[in-house]
Structure 1
Amino acid sequence: MIDQRPEFQTEQFEKGLKIRREVLGDAYVDRSIATADDVSAPLQKLLTEWCWGEIWSRPGLELKLRSVLNLGMIMALNRPAELKLHLRGALNNGLTREEIVEIILQCAIYCGAPASLDAMRTAQAVFAELDAETNAL
């Protein structure tokens, strides 16, 4: 596993890993790390240290607000896989489904109809997955 490699044994990586797990969940982070190979491991290290350890850990914005920003930016960039991931993270960070719908509506005006339609479909799929997971328990 990449987090066992000496170059990953840094304070910044551990700090980022903690926040990444808090937002995205252990299962997702464990899969990302377990599937990292010699090609993708450097990107995993970079993102964990700098995205999560440096930026997401800063005290200036709460995690919930960072999620609001991410949803808007990811929707604008039309990255549905990342949007799906960060929708779950936004819910983990305290956003409600109603707030997420409002974010998508707000972004529809600035990002356009195709982006908002894709984002709403993605949100509906994530909500359905979460409901199915909850009902399975």
Structure 2
Amino acid sequence: MTSTQNSAAELDRYERGMALLQRVGGPAATAVIDSLADIAPDLGRLTVEFGYGDILSRPGLTLRQRQLATVGALTVLGNAAPQLRFHIDGALNVGVTRTEIVETLIHASVYAGFPAALNGLTVAREVFAARTDLPAEPPAPSAPEGDRFARGSAALTEIDGHAGEQVVAALQDIAPDFARLLIEFAFGDIYSRPGLDLKSRELVTVAMCTALGVAPQLGVHIHGLLNVGGTEQEVVEVLIQMAGYAGFPAALNGISVARAVFAERKINQNSDI
């Protein structure tokens, strides 16, 4: 490839990235890039070219899915409030509802604790208040009534199957009460809530676990995403996207976990034939 062709390819990446950045970010899309002009203009260019031109423009996930994954990852990281604000706003711009955003933030309480979820909701409140262009939505609905343990056990089986059951069984000899709380809260209270479908919940969970670097739980939830209708391509795309938000080591570690999960499922599938 000649230098002229290289220049054209780089320009194409930048233009593609800028178009997508403007679609996600709306009127404020270039504010962050402009703020880098006096200190690190190359970082601004790389953000556009790599983050948007190379990654977010990839097929395999919708923009709605990508924004939910980003909101989930930034919430659990807990150290990037300005970026979380931008991407909550961006999620609204690409058709994610306020209810879906709130449910993603509530969901984060399982994986990063209540402080992360509460801080995320504070950011969301500010974004929602500023978006007078969008119609108001009612508060996120509550979880269904009934026995929390029974509801949680059913959800655990549907989502994580054997992998989830193994996690609970491994706790019985040391912390059976923790196993019960896990089922009642994580699956009975949170996963069973309406407002965000199971596939979206598992997609954001994969993003959260990748960002947090918790490999065993990531493996369980890659299984879970595949169990509720996700594809291997969607799993890989979430992991690639996390390179931009949690770094290449986190994404590479996630890819290694996914490789093992895919291989295990293929072996089990062949053994059933």
Question: For residues 35 and 113 of structure 1, what CA distance do their matches in structure 2 show?
Answer: 31
- For 2:212, the equivalent position in structure 1 comes to 77
How far off its partner does 1:101 sit? 0.8
Counterpart of 1:45 (choices 157, 176, 180) is 180
Question: For residues 187 and 229 of structure 2, what CA distance do their matches in structure 1 show?
Answer: 18
Q: Taking structure 1 as reference, are residues 34 and 106 closer, same or farther at Cα in structure 2, changes over 3 Å only? A: closer
Letter in structure 2 aligned against 1:67:
E
Q: Alpha-carbon deviations, 1:61-89, whole Å to 9, x = none?
A: 00000011100110011000000110000
Q: Alpha-carbon deviations, 1:3-58, whole Å to 9, x = none?
A: xxxxxxx8111110000110011x34444444443641111111100110011000
- For 1:89, the equivalent position in structure 2 comes to 224
Q: Taking structure 1 as reference, are residues 85 and 97 closer, same or farther at Cα in structure 2, changes over 3 Å only? A: same
Counterpart of 2:196 (choices 50, 58, 61) is 61
Question: For residues 211 and 164 of structure 2, what CA distance do their matches in structure 1 show?
Answer: 24
Percent of paired sites with the same residue:
36
- Where do 5+ consecutive residues of structure 2 fail to align? 1-145
1:121 lines up with 2:253 in the alignment:
no
- For 1:105, the equivalent position in structure 2 comes to 240
**Equivalent residues, number:** 127
Letter in structure 1 aligned against 2:239:
I
Letter in structure 2 aligned against 1:63:
L
- For 1:4, the equivalent position in structure 2 comes to none
Does the 8 Å contact 2:155/2:187 carry over to 1? Answer: yes
How far off its partner does 1:93 sit? 1.1
Letter in structure 2 aligned against 1:110:
Y
Give secondary structure in 2 for the equivalent of 1:65.
Answer: helix
- For 2:96, the equivalent position in structure 1 comes to none
- For 1:5, the equivalent position in structure 2 comes to none
TM-score where L is the length of structure 2: 0.44
Question: For residues 119 and 83 of structure 1, what CA distance do their matches in structure 2 show?
Answer: 7
- For 1:14, the equivalent position in structure 2 comes to 150
Letter in structure 1 aligned against 2:262:
F
Letter in structure 1 aligned against 2:266:
D
- For 1:24, the equivalent position in structure 2 comes to 160
How far off its partner does 1:135 sit? 1.3
- Where do 5+ consecutive residues of structure 1 fail to align? 1-9
Letter in structure 2 aligned against 1:76:
A
Question: For residues 262 and 268 of structure 2, what CA distance do their matches in structure 1 show?
Answer: 10
Letter in structure 1 aligned against 2:190:
I
- For 1:7, the equivalent position in structure 2 comes to none
Give secondary structure in 1 for the equivalent of 2:245.
Answer: helix
How far off its partner does 1:132 sit? 1.1
